[in-house]
């Protein structure tokens, strides 16, 4: 860039009836990143939203497999309907053991929103969350 040539160049352009070239327009900003897909809660989150543990006379075993791509928090819903944290379950992992019929467990995502509530039933030992 030679500032000493700027004045003669402008004068020459003016003499020829031209004007200096306009600055090119600034590039448009990039579009925002796409929003993550909305996660839809399982119907059990509504069906058992007010559930609580009721009985302790029918022991059983159960297993829940996390087929989502996120770590889920696990809470047992006690006799008063209060959620008590009992751990977490990584993607592809399973959670379970001994419990009782009518003892619900809530599985929540990283944002704390319900993903699924499992209400263990006699004769059903395996539950799956996700695809």
- Tell me the per-residue pLDDT of 87-106, one tens digit each, with 9 for 90 and over: 999 999 999 999 999 999 99
Query: What are the chain's domains?
Result: 44-130 (2.60.40.780)
Q: What is the pLDDT of residue 24?
A: 75
Length of the chain: 131
Residue 89's SS3 state is strand
Q: How confident is the chain (131 residues) per 10-residue block, as mean pLDDT?
A: 56 63 77 62 89 94 95 98 97 95 96 94 92 78
Q: Over the stretch 112-123, which tens digit does the pLDDT of each residue have?
A: 999 999 999 889
pTM exceeding the 0.75 threshold for the entire prediction = no
Q: What is the pLDDT of residue 90?
A: 97
Residue 52 to residue 84: CA distance in whole angstroms: 11
60 in Cβ contact with 100 (< 8 Å): yes
Neighbours of 51 (CB within 10 A): 17
Q: What is the pLDDT of residue 97?
A: 93
Helices (H), the chain: 6-15, 44-47
């Amino acid at each position: 860039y030679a500032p000493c040539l700027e004045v003669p160049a402008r004068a020459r352009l003016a003499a020829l009836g031209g004007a200096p070239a306009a600055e090119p327009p600034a590039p448009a900003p990039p579009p925002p990143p796409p929003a993550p897909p909305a996660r839809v809660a399982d119907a059990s989150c509504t069906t058992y939203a007010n559930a609580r543990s009721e009985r302790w006379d029918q022991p059983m075993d159960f297993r829940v497999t996390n087929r989502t791509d996120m770590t889920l928090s696990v809470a047992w819903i006690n006799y008063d309907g209060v959620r008590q944290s009992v751990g977490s379950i990584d993607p592809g992992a399973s959670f379970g053991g001994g419990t009782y019929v009518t003892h619900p467990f809530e599985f929540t995502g990283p944002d704390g929103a319900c993903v699924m509530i499992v209400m263990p039933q006699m004769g059903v030992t395996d539950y799956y969350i996700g695809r």
